[in-house]
Amino acid sequence: METLLTVAYIVLGVLLFSLAIAIHEFGHFIVALRLGLKVERFSIGFGPAIWKRTWRGVEYRISWIPLGGYVSIPDVDPEGTKALEGAKASGDAAPKAEIPAWKEILVAVAGPAMNLVLAVVLAVVLSLVPSAKFGQLPTEIGGFLPDSPAEAAGMRKGDVVMSVGGHPVSTWNELLTEVQITGGRPTEFKIRRATPGGDGTSFNVENLAFTVTPGRSEVTGAYLISALSVTNATGAVAWMPARNPLKQLAWDAGGIFRVLKALVTPKEAAATGKALGGPVMMAEGIYRTLRHDVCDGIGFLRFLNVNLAILNLLPIPVLDGGLIMFALIALVFRRRLPEKFVSVITSAFMYLLLALMAYLIVNDSWRSFKIHRHNAELAAEAEQSGVGAGDKGAEDGDVN
């Protein structure tokens, strides 16, 4: 029975992950059709087709490599996508028709827009579910694990972390994010400490600073200060910050913008890059959250859609933002960049993207394997000692 339940959750997780991809590509697809552009193919996944069918001149397919999807629109589609399809090289292909730049912009924007529409719908649905759990953990330290870098630096139980490396934090998840971005560098933690006054009823509040060097987990690769949060009374997970839909979406956007800023900040880029995850981590995140609670899974899917929308709007060739950038250049300067230049640079970025995806998949898979092996070892130790697996960890608080 447990095996069947696991399979059911895996299937549901894959379907929800595919939904985020399909809704994005549907945005491109429907706007291109409405604008009268020719659409050749609508694919979920890349590479050779598992299944395909042609209807009204459009080939619909599910492909073998589940890293995303695409819509083939000859008058908009860059050569990089054609390379993914295994189509002819640009020298053998039919010349690209000249279409108005504003049409290209509308088609490119439609994909991220549909992800945002789905995210808004999911946020509103979650806000209407009475049983959905919302809330954020404060940055108050509830305890320490053995050999904690934070405790060794002088921090105590009850301290409230105000900033990490000069970046203010107000929730435990923000604290965790800043620690990952910091990496293994010695970093200043500013804290607020309240100590009992002499009369036994008042408290003296001090603002202190400690230099902490986070350690790195051999299992997950994450950077840790080995501190525990206070008890999670609400039971809410990180991506369920508030019942208000606008606050949910603002939290999603704020998180991705902070990571993007770190990626272009020299002293933060290396550690942030190591913490990034790819399709495997996304799919596993949906699976794990669904098993924990269906509402948590929906919340993670909302978070994922906001991330997909923002990332796709970055002005990078082969992403939607790159198409928008080229079209805006044509609108402003009344002249397009040479087609050969666009083709070469787009193809180059496509292969770089594929290489990055391959790296992330291998890295995520190895990290997932180590985590599962570690959990299995803990469960075996707990069974031998007669202690519940949950009792071996800090089940009442989150670990950083």
Q: At 217, which CATH number? A: 2.30.42.10
pLDDT in tens, 13-69: 777 877 888 899 899 999 999 998 888 888 887 778 899 999 888 999 988 876 667
Residue that is last in its domain, among 179, 197, 231: 231
Tallying the residues shown for the chain, one arrives at 400
Q: Residues 173, 248: one domain?
A: no
* 72, 81 Cβ separation under 8 angstroms: yes
Rounded to 5 degrees, φ, ψ at 245 are -55, -40
Place of tokens 């946020």: 123
* 126, 105 Cβ separation under 8 angstroms: no
Torsion of CA 321, 323, 324, 326, to 10 degrees: 120
pLDDT in tens, 266-320: 888 888 887 777 777 777 788 888 888 889 889 999 999 999 999 999 999 888 9
Q: Residues 44, 117: one domain?
A: yes
Q: How many domains does the chain have?
A: 2
Q: Residues 254, 353: one domain?
A: yes
d(CA 140, CA 49): 52
What CA–CA distances, in Å, run from 272 to 183, 184, 286, 369, 384? 8, 11, 22, 21, 38
Q: Residues 268, 395: one domain?
A: yes
Q: Which of 85, 97, 83, 258 is nearest to 169 (CA)?
A: 258
d(CA 276, CA 392): 28
Q: Residues 196, 263: one domain?
A: no
Average pLDDT of the residues in 154-173? 93
Rounded to 5 degrees, φ, ψ at 91 are -65, -25
d(CA 57, CA 36): 13
Q: Residues 257, 286: one domain?
A: yes
Residue that is last in its domain, among 199, 231, 263: 231
Q: Residues 303, 163: one domain?
A: no
Average pLDDT of the residues in 331-352? 87
Copy the structure tokens of residue 234.
Answer: 């609400």
Q: Residues 196, 254: one domain?
A: no
Rounded to 5 degrees, φ, ψ at 336 are -85, 150
Average pLDDT of the residues in 237-264? 90
Q: Residues 257, 392: one domain?
A: yes
Cβ count near 277 (within 10 Å): 15
Q: Residues 10, 124: one domain?
A: yes
Average pLDDT of the residues in 94-100? 68
- pLDDT at 393 > cutoff 60: no
Q: How many CA atoms lie within 13 A of 355 on its CB side?
A: 6
Q: How many CA atoms lie within 13 A of 364 on its CB side?
A: 17
373 conformational bin, left if phi > 0, alpha if psi -120 to 50, beta if neither:
alpha
- pLDDT at 111 > cutoff 50: yes
Return the higher-pLDDT residue of 13 and 253: 253
d(CA 161, CA 175): 8
Rounded to 5 degrees, φ, ψ at 77 are -60, 130
Cα dihedral sign for 226, 229, 232, 233? positive
* Domain assignment of residue 236, yes or no: no
> Does residue 64 sit in helix, strand or coil?
strand
pLDDT in tens, 199-242: 666 678 889 999 999 998 887 788 889 998 887 767 777 888 99
d(CA 307, CA 270): 20
pLDDT of residue 67: 61
- pLDDT at 397 > cutoff 60: no
* 69, 44 Cβ separation under 8 angstroms: yes
pLDDT in tens, 73-95: 887 764 545 555 554 444 444 55
Q: Residues 124, 161: one domain?
A: no
Place of tokens 């979650």: 126
pLDDT in tens, 119-159: 999 999 999 999 999 988 889 999 999 989 999 999 999 99
Return the higher-pLDDT residue of 5 and 246: 246
* Domain assignment of residue 2, yes or no: yes
* Domain assignment of residue 277, yes or no: yes
Q: Residues 361, 291: one domain?
A: yes
Domain range for 148: 138-231
Residue that is last in its domain, among 180, 206, 231: 231
Cβ count near 67 (within 10 Å): 19
- Residue 384: Cβ-neighbour burial (10 angstroms; 0-12, 13-18, 19+): exposed
Average pLDDT of the residues in 355-372? 81
* Domain assignment of residue 310, yes or no: yes
* Domain assignment of residue 237, yes or no: no
pLDDT in tens, 171-210: 998 999 999 998 889 999 999 998 887 666 667 888 999 9
Return the higher-pLDDT residue of 89 and 371: 371
**At CA 330, angle to CA 328 and CA 336, rounded to 5?**
140
